[in-house]
Structure 1
């Protein structure tokens, strides 16, 4: 797929304090565009809050940070436009009752809903549909999700997906918006050693193609830019005072919904 140029991510003494104390503090690192960034630490160490802060979805209370050259928290809304969330519990989870096709259709509709491009509106409908269809297919390919291998193909319910398959679907949905930064929580949770290696290979390939990847994990791979957190306080986004976590408005293309509806299933 045509990958956008990744977003550089920097932090200097970054911290976030809530009613129960510090979620994280003193985080300092610098990662170039197209980096694989691993936020490593035990559960309860502020990993998820750091991910949400760097993607413009929580407001840090100490230090400085920037994503794609956009300073946080002042430019948080702009950061949300270039940073997409993969799976983040309580924020961007897949609906277990939905099928794979329904999730793709919903994301396609969101793409169309937030598209304000006059140029896109002026393109012939058939051209818009074809371009959007290609974008969905490219996202699925980049995520390594072959719908034909699923138990019921595109009609497979999320609850019937294996953990790695669900991860790939979440990543594909995020990639439809062609983000400069992709953020993934609990990357290695409940994965076997083989599946964990496959998950990191997926994220590594996305970074190699130009998209900066920010991944929360319990153990970082050696080739990642590793940011370590300590067990300093609450990490549940609902426990922290700051900008509420919310999904990003997609970076959009008119015709995406039509593409999914007209060609059957992705």
Structure 2
């Protein structure tokens, strides 16, 4: 029971202080400052191309900011990017962490659980009998599926349903379940409300609120954030005439089993640490964010 308690999710506090990242044609984001307590639901809102995804990737240790500082679970960024990646997980992030449309739901879940066991399993767990390891894997999958609210029996072909046949909300639940298999302290989700009906959007936010309430800190990119979240707003501003420096190279350690290494600059807004409302600077450019995203194949 003690070992299981240690594995349960416990949210990571996220702190940013003047965080910024610059691309060839300007700042993808700059002067981002906020503080989120463990188990918070933090929303990064703004129009497409405003650097939202860049900020998400920077705060999960997958992009290296050039200005300011940040901490996730007490781990300083950008100095401890690899350590932050180990305690964070990506849900859906197009071009970085995506579902394979040819795989079934069951295949995705089994693959993720096996990879998780291989990369973070203790020696004691690896010495268990095969039947015990299989039971532990099933239990972890069931826990993640339940936390994501994914009803396998309601899918067209149950767990044998191909990803290509999933509705948008079901795909969001599956990608969230896959991320939660690793019991991360920080969950990051991109394009949360993209192409969702009002009813599905409400369900998506209910899901992320439930994940945060259970103890995992959540970062969610969206076009419009609910008012009861810690909101960080990104807006494309006027071009900075002095923004001519090359984009920062991604951290060399970033190539790890959890995903690709985006060379992406992040975003621009800064929410007030006390009120949760956001402020923005006039030095962020849409071009800066676009350049960064192009380097990750998402232009």
- TM-score, normalising length from structure 1? 0.87
Structure 1, unpaired ranges of 5+: 251-266
Aligned to 1:255: none
Structure of higher CA gyration radius: 2
Q: What is the rounded CA distance, in whole Å, between the counterparts of 1:102 and 1:130 in structure 2?
A: 17
> In the alignment, which of 153, 157, 163 is matched to residue 158 of structure 1?
163
> In the alignment, which of 77, 85, 91 is matched to residue 80 of structure 1?
85
Aligned to 1:8: 13
Contact preservation (8 Å) 2:42, 2:232 = yes
Q: CA deviation at 1:113?
A: 2.7
The 3 A distance-change label for structure 1 pair 58 and 111 is same
Aligned to 1:241: 248
Range with bigger deviation, 110-119 or 88-97: 110-119
Q: How does 1:69-218 map to 2 (within 5 A)?
A: 69-218=74-223
Contact preservation (8 Å) 2:66, 2:248 = no
The count of corresponding residues between Structure 1 and Structure 2 is 246
Range with bigger deviation, 156-165 or 114-123: 114-123
Structure 2, unpaired ranges of 5+: 240-245, 260-299
Residue aligned with 1:153, SS: strand
Contact preservation (8 Å) 2:56, 2:221 = yes
Q: CA deviation at 1:247?
A: 6.6
Q: What is the rounded CA distance, in whole Å, between the counterparts of 2:39 and 2:105 in structure 1?
A: 28
